[in-house]
Structure 1
Amino acid sequence: MSNLRTSRNRLVAAAATVVLTALSLTACGGGTGVHDEGASAPTTPTANSSADAASSGAASSGASSSGSGSHSSSSKTRPATGTTRSAADTSASKAPVSADKPVTCEGSNTKTVAAPLNRPVNHMLLTVTNTGRKTCFLYGYPAVRFGEAQSVPPVIEDSQPQAVVTLAPGESGYASVNLSATDGSASNGHTVKSLTVYFHGRSGNESVGAGAHPSLPAKGVYVDDSLKVTYWQQSMDDAINW
């Protein structure tokens, strides 16, 4: 009988131990639960990071779209500019070129100045300047008429240049006039106060265009039957050598 009680007491003690162990395990399980909740806390920044990444992606996408929009707008502008330039170039290539065609030098497109020279003595220099917008040709020699003369003086044949004198706008050509004999040997000497200069055409047989009326000194100039002129020259030095 005593042994039976002892066995029961042991059985009850064992059962109590089992219950206590179970409770202890339950408590440990609860602790593990608290640890799990603490461990799950880092998942929140991860979620936020994902959201930030999504926002960043959206912003990048927006920026890319904006950049694409700017590029598209620029692309649309450039072809238009290129088209305009092409049209301008085409128009320029079709511009008329007839304005460059040379003409004959004469009184309406030139200015003539007459200046007596100290050396050579009894000489006068004629300077013709192209005042027009086109290149002009000075053909032959000046047909000069002093005062009321009925004819023009002859030309010095040896003074003929190798090429026709060509004047671009603003350029000048020259001729000299031998007014009188230096030794007084010529006849019919007299003083004149007016001068008209006529211009030859390409054929050289007639005057063309308007004549020029350069001023003479107030006292006039002295001429005689030895009066003669040079051909038009490209340089002043060539003109006064005769």
Structure 2
Amino acid sequence: MRSNRIRTTVLAATALLAALSLTACGSENGSSESAEAGSAAPAAHQAAKQSPPPAAPAAPEQKSPDTGGTSKDTAAPPARSDAKNTTGSTKRTGSGSTTKPDRTPTTCTGGNTRTTVTTVSRPLNHLLLTLTNTGDRPCYAYYAPALRFDDAQAAFPVLDDSKPQAVVTLDPGGSAYAAIGLTGEPGAGPAPREATRLQVYFSARSGEGSTGTPVSLTLPSGTSWDDNGFVTYWQTEMADALTY
């Protein structure tokens, strides 16, 4: 037993002397590897004594110019853990985050919808306005569209009896409808006037005035109107608009 202990002691002393000799040779030769190993050892030893993350302050120190930012420093367990946590935080809050798009409803205007005007066979002397949501958010079609034929001085009358029970909401791709009764009872007013253009304005939520971008439409050939005509409120169904 004693001889084994002595032999072990001798072997340990021999290994220690060999290590010291290599260190001395490295210092005399000015090897960059020895210098990096020497500077990295205290940092690695210090990191081993630190408590584990999440809020360990060792990561910034290991990347500072004082420690040289060597691969041995960053290989220490606390440094690896901090690097992973930092990277994960960047992915969650950076440009690659999975934040849900804004779906808050807005007001329907010419900027987020498409408006068309077409003739219908029934009722007679009627046109149909179709409003389609082209945006990526729902929009509210408030009240009735405000219409102006050509250069008319006043807006076309709105039929109050067509007011729906609730504001019409258009999901993306959805449509709303309004009917235009071009003329009133024959002989009830001035003679009909032919028009070629129709300006469509969108009512504000307050019901006072218009909001957003209006649109200008080309009317079907031969369209005539008079002061006794009307336009309905926006309706969810085409059939509801054409009942007036």
Q: TM-score, normalised by structure 2?
A: 0.59
Q: Does 1:117 align with 2:120?
A: yes
Structure 2: how far apart are the matches of 1:113 and 1:220? 17
Give the AA of the match of 1:198. Answer: Y
For residues 222 and 114 of structure 2, what CA distance do their matches in structure 1 show?
20
Counterpart residue type for residue 174 of structure 1: Y
Structure (1 or 2) with the greater helix fraction: 1
The structural deviation recorded for 1:107 is: 0.6
The 1-side partners of 2:227 and 2:105 are apart by 36
Q: CA deviation at 1:193?
A: 0.5
CA distance in structure 1 between the aligned counterparts of 2:98 and 2:154, rounded to whole angstroms? 47
State the shift of 1:220 in Å: 3.5
How far 1:98 sits from its partner (Å)? 6.2
Q: Is structure 2 residue 208 aligned with structure 1 residue 235?
A: no
Residues 49-81 of structure 1, C-alpha deviations (whole Å, 9 max, x = no match): xxxxxxxxxxxxxxxxxxxxxxxxxxxxxxxxx
CA contact (8 A) 1:146 1:195 kept: yes
Residue 156 of structure 1 and its aligned partner are, at CA, apart by: 1.2
Amino acid paired to 2:133: N
Which residue identity is paired with 1:119?
R
Aligned equivalents of 1:208, 1:224: Cα separation in 2: 26
Question: Which SS does the other structure have where 1:121 is aligned?
Answer: coil
| Equivalent residue for 2:105, pick from 102, 106, 113 | 102
Opposite residue 144 of structure 1, the aligned amino acid is L
- The one-letter amino acid paired with 1:204 is G
How is 1:15-34 mapped onto 2 (pairs within 5 angstroms)? Answer: none
Determine what percentage of the aligned residue pairs are the same residue: 43
Q: Which amino acid aligns with 1:199?
A: F
CA drift of 1:206 comes to 0.9
What do the CA deviations read for 1:169-198 (whole angstroms, capped 9, x no partner)? 1100000011013x5223221100000100
Q: What corresponds to 1:176 in structure 2?
A: 179
Distance (Å, rounded) in 2 between the aligned partners of 1:88 and 1:235: 48
TM-score, scaled to structure 1: 0.59
- Tell me the alpha carbon deviations over residues 119-172 of structure 1, each in whole angstroms, 9 at most, x when there is no partner: 000111000000111110000001000111111122111111011000011100
Structure 1 vs Structure 2 CA RMSD: 2.7
CA contact under 8 A between 1:141 and 1:229: conserved in structure 2? yes
Matched residues in 1 for 2:234 and 2:150: separation? 22
SS at match of 2:161: helix
**Does structure 1 residue 204 correspond to structure 2 residue 202?**
no
In structure 2, what is the Cα distance between the partners aligned to 1:231 and 1:138? 9
Equivalent residue for 1:153? 156
Q: CA–CA distance in 1 between the matches of 2:113 and 2:169?
A: 13
The residue that corresponds to 2:170 in the other structure is 167
1:186 is aligned, of 188, 196, 203, to 188
Name the structure 1 match of 2:33: none
